[in-house]
Every structure is written in structure tokens, then in C-alpha cells.
Structure 1
Amino acid sequence: KSGDYKDFLSRLEAGLDKTGSKCLAWCLMPNHFHLLVLRGERPLAELMRRVMTGYAVGFNIRYRRSGHLFQNRYKAVLCDADEYLLELVAYIHLNPARAKIVRGMAGLKKYPWSGHKALVGEGKAGFIAREQVLRHFGSSLRSAMKKYEEFVEERIGKYKRGEYSGGGLIRSIGGKEAALSLIRGGEKEAFDERVLGDGDFVERILKMEGQTRSEVMPREEIIREVERRTGIKSDKIFSASRERAVSAARALYCCLRKEKGRASGVELMKELKISCGGVAMLVQRGRGFWK
């Protein structure tokens, strides 16, 4: 019922505010929900407890029932935000179309129980961090909305069921430092945790357990290393040149900045003036040169 959906969303909005978390995508389905959350100052478990326990109590009172409401504990996926953020946003918001609750992009625009409407300008932003998502598609709000919609449309029918889903909650935290602190913090006992990233993501996370901030490679040192290995000067690396040698040097720089310098995807987008997808592609290509 719509009243139940509204109650859930009201509790989610309050929980996000209390914990300092940000919601980048959301979708309510008849028997489950999906969230993409950037964790704030408070633990993820606190957010979910506020939402799920409060909602279950209210639901039982409304319908004069007792006992557990949710069949399973929620599941969380620790994901590599730099490489999977936009795919997760699209995957979550395409759920109603994938389940044939609505038809195509026109139906998604009208579906009231997801964040998609807000991202295409068909509804108020509400609690979704609209600007944080759309900045990956352009600096102009109108243009970014159009590019986001095109991005989602290209993915209709692409995703397999459960490809990116943890079953209840998809958790994205901005950077591996935060991931490590969460793994060490004991919060993992509250839910079933998986990891979403490319083939080496889990291994890289674990390897970082022994690393300290002193081991972070400075940007200037990375530039010198790339120049030494490739013979390409930094002004060329940061230019718009598409020469093969320059592109290779740029890919190596991008890879080293992300993996040795721990730069975020957003930082690399600004440095190289490229899209989020462009960063992911360069990092992947750069790994081949580094190895």
C-alpha cells in the first residue's frame, strides 16, 4: 500500500539525516528494496536499525500483527565506488522495468517509488543526493539529466538478475580507507557482506591492511615515474592529445594515482578532464603497463 511505502521513505529520510549518510539511488519493490548509500559519520547498522525496526513496529501496529516482518537480515555489498557507482545507480533504478512492473523509460519516469524520477527532473529531489550523482554526467543540470537518462536507457535489458544486488542493501563507501575501517570495526557481524569490484578489488583491499598513510605515493613522484617510464612530459599527459604514446602515459598515470596515490575517481576526473567511465577505462589499461 502507498501508505506503507511512504512510512518507509519517511523513516529512511530521517535515518539518513541522523547518521549523516547520503542516498545515491533507491527503489522500493513489492517484496524488497534496494538502496545505494554513501555511509556517513554513524555506522550503517544504525541507519538500517532505525529504518527497518521502526518500520516493522509501525507495520505490525497498523495491521494488528506480531512477529518478524522481514524474512532475512539485510545484505550489504562493499563496492568499488570509482568503477561501479554509475552502473549501480542504473541497475537499482531499472528494477521496476526488469520486473515488468512498468514498461520502458516512459514507465520508469512515472514509477513513484524510486529515485529515478528525481534524477530526470520529473519529481523533487527529496532525500536523494541528486547533485552528487548527476555531476558525473556534466556540469549543467539539464544536460546531466539528459545524459543520465540516456545512460540508463542504454542498459535496459542488459543486466542479469542479481548481477549487482546484495538482496537487500547495496552499500557504497567512498574509498578504501573507509572500507578498511568498516571491516575492522566489527560492523560486519550485523549483516551478510559481499564485495563488488573488479577481479583484483578484494585482493587490493586486503593488501592495504598493512599499509600506512606514509606509503601513499605523492602526486609529484607519480608524475616523475610516468615521465621516466614513458618519456612523455607532464604537460602532454594533461593535454587533450590522443597520440598513442601520450594516451598510454595518461593511462599509467591514472592507474598509479588511483592505486599508489589513493586518488579518488572524482579527483582524476578533474585532473584529466574526463568522465567517470573514462577514468575506469584508463585505470584498467594502466594496470597492464604497470605490471
Structure 2
Amino acid sequence: MPRQARIDAPGAIQHVIVRGIERRKIFHDDRDRHAFVERLRRTLLDSATACYGWALMPNHAHLLLRTGRVPIATMMRRLLTGYAGTFNRRHRRHGHLFQNRYKSILCQEEPYLLELVRYIHLNPLRGRLVRDLGELDRYPYAGHSALMGKQENDWQQTGFVLGQFGRRVGVARRAYRAFVEAGIPLGRKPELVGGGLIRSLGGWMAVKASGKGAARLKGDERILGDSEFVLDALKVAEEHLRRQERLQRQGCDMDWLTRQVATVFGISPEDIYRTGKRPPLVAARSVFCHWAVRELGLTATAVARALGLTQPAVSIAVRRGEQIAMARDIQLKGE
């Protein structure tokens, strides 16, 4: 049976599960785990991919991501290829480390995001890597400890997750922890790692026309959501890909983008590269970062180098620029 193509779209939520080949260990000790986390950090920041949850287990890993400037497949290839090379050199081994096909599930944000955060972060407890919730609060190789304020990860979107539980950090943390604790007796939830719409009826339109589109069927494990969600995601993915390819064919580069942003904000092109915190310039630089990474497909590293910023600063600016562009209803137009 041929493999089905991965489904992805800018801004899509993806639950990624990576397993060792033949269920072998992919982490032997903390040095391995630290190497993976550091590479994950760099890859996420460089691709402007958001991470809401993660957990490292001896022979597999869970990541809850929101697609950034590049497809999840590209981001994961960089992460896994780099880590496999480091792991093999350290342990003097050859050959594949991971199963050749990691699992990625496109997830509907509402109502599944928080359920997935809880499910992923409880993995170390279910796998008996920690004895209780108190130990999980401090466990450094899952995202739960960062949400509890026990460690700082500049690449994990803790503010976004905690914001779902309250405006004040202390209140939000207590509510989040109670939510996680309530999930302990629920055990493993197989419905969170598969399901969706079957594609064997001749495509999504045929599924929708058949009247079976709202059903979650076990035949397609790439989807966690309803038919309308899937159809919308596919449409957005196709439109975004066509737009990015069109801009690249037209030769739209960073210099061209600088002139476009300067025109939109009524400033000189040089102003975008100047330091300063005046609101108009901050807004212009933020939109510049957003369009450079999300629309032109430039790396956060290249943008950071051009603006004299750090990778984390560019990633923050990308998200802020997206909000500014939406609030002001401004769009990047090709030549």
C-alpha cells in the first residue's frame, strides 16, 4: 500500500511522534537528551516553528508544533538527520536511528490543543520515568517543567499555553497543573494519536459529498479533527505554496521586501535596519520579519543577521508582525 502524503499548512497544529528503529533507544543518557533538545531549539527558532508541548522517552519522542515558515517535514528532516549523525558518532554506530517514517497528525486546535498538551506531558509519568506529578514538575526533558516555571526554554511557547488557563501567571499555572492532574486517571488515550477522514472515496470532495465527512474513521491516521477543518487546511496549504513559489519566481528578495515595507509604513528603507524602539519602527521591522520568514521563506538566521538581531528575537518579531499585519489589514503584494 503506497504511503499517503503528509498534510500540512502554515499555522497548522501537528502532533509529531518519532520512534527508534525496531523500537530501540534513541536516548541512552542525559547527554543524548541534551543534544536533542539543543538541536530542537535551534531548528525551531530558525524555522519560526512554535512548540507547545514535548516529551522525550527512551525510544521515542513527542512534539506538539505549529507550522512556521517551512513545512514540518523540512523542519523534522533537519532535526532528525542532525541528531542521528551526532548520536551515531558518539556511540560509534552506523545505519538508521529512527523509523524511516515518523508519524505526524494534523490536529484541530479546538478542542484538541490542550488535550494534546496534557497527553504529551504525562508521558514520562505513564512511562514511569518519574514517580509522581511532583517529580514531573521538575523533569527537564518534557515541556511540563517549563510551564511550571522550573526551567526556561526560549523556544517553547509557554505563554500561549498558560494564557488558556488565566491572565495571571500564578493563577494560570495552578489551573494548568490541576488540568494535568485530572488527566492522570484517564490513562492512555488512543483517540488522540489517530483518527480522521478516510481518503479512499476519491478525495476530500467525494468524502464530503458522501455524507460521511463528519465521521472520524480509523482509516486515516493523519487527521485529528472534523471534515470542515481538513478541507480548509488543505485549501490554505495549496494557496500558500502557490503564493510562495510565485514570489520566488519573480525574484522577490530581502532588498525588494525592504522597499515594500518602507512604502507601506512611510519610512525610508534604511530605517528598517536601524536600532531603536520607536513604535512605528518596531512595527515595520516586525512586519518585515513576518513577511521575510512566512511569505518569502527566508530563514530566521538570515533575517537575524541582516537586522542585527538574535534568532529568538526574530521568531518573536515574526509572530508580532503577523498580528500587526492582520490588525492593519496589510498584505504583501508581488511585483
CA-to-aligned-CA distance 1:218-240 (integer Å, 9 cap, x gap): xxxxxxxxxxxxxxxxxxxxxxx
Q: 3-state SS of the aligned residue for 1:156? A: helix
1:121 CA drift (Å): 1.5
Of 46, 50, 56, the match for 1:28: 56
Superposition CA RMSD, Å:
2.2
TM-score after normalising by structure 1: 0.59
1:161 CA drift (Å): 5.0
CA-to-aligned-CA distance 1:87-106 (integer Å, 9 cap, x gap): 00000000011112212211
**After superposition, where does 1:260-279 map in structure 2 within 5 Å?**
none
Check whether the contact 2:43–2:78 (CA below 8 A) recurs between aligned residues.
Answer: yes
Amino acid aligned to 1:140 = R
Distance, in Å, in 2 between the alignment partners of 1:69 and 1:135 is 37
For residues 208 and 21 of structure 1, do their structure 2 counterparts lie closer, same or farther at Cα, with a shift above 3 Å needed? closer
Q: 3-state SS of the aligned residue for 2:51? A: strand
Query: Is residue 2:47 matched to residue 1:19?
Result: yes
Higher relative contact order, structure no. (Cα contacts within 8 Å, ≥ 6 residues apart) = 1
Distance, in Å, in 1 between the alignment partners of 2:83 and 2:234 is 37
- What is the aligned partner in structure 2 of residue 141 from structure 1? 169
- What is the aligned partner in structure 2 of residue 229 from structure 1? none
Distance, in Å, in 1 between the alignment partners of 2:39 and 2:56 is 13
- What is the aligned partner in structure 1 of residue 65 from structure 2? 37
Structure 1's unaligned 5+ residue stretches are 167-191, 214-291
- Identical pairs, percent: 45
Check whether the contact 2:108–2:229 (CA below 8 A) recurs between aligned residues.
Answer: no
- What is the aligned partner in structure 2 of residue 104 from structure 1? 132
Structure 2's unaligned 5+ residue stretches are 1-28, 195-219, 240-335
Query: Is residue 2:32 matched to residue 1:7?
Result: no
1:6 CA drift (Å): 0.6
- What is the aligned partner in structure 1 of residue 91 from structure 2? 63
Check whether the contact 1:22–1:129 (CA below 8 A) recurs between aligned residues.
Answer: yes
**After superposition, where does 1:1-291 map in structure 2 within 5 Å?**
1-165=29-193, 194-197=222-225, 201-202=226-227, 204-206=229-231
Amino acid aligned to 1:112 = P
For residues 103 and 38 of structure 1, do their structure 2 counterparts lie closer, same or farther at Cα, with a shift above 3 Å needed? same
Distance, in Å, in 2 between the alignment partners of 1:6 and 1:102 is 18
Check whether the contact 1:11–1:50 (CA below 8 A) recurs between aligned residues.
Answer: no
Q: 3-state SS of the aligned residue for 1:164? A: helix
Q: 3-state SS of the aligned residue for 2:227? A: helix
For residues 154 and 60 of structure 1, do their structure 2 counterparts lie closer, same or farther at Cα, with a shift above 3 Å needed? same
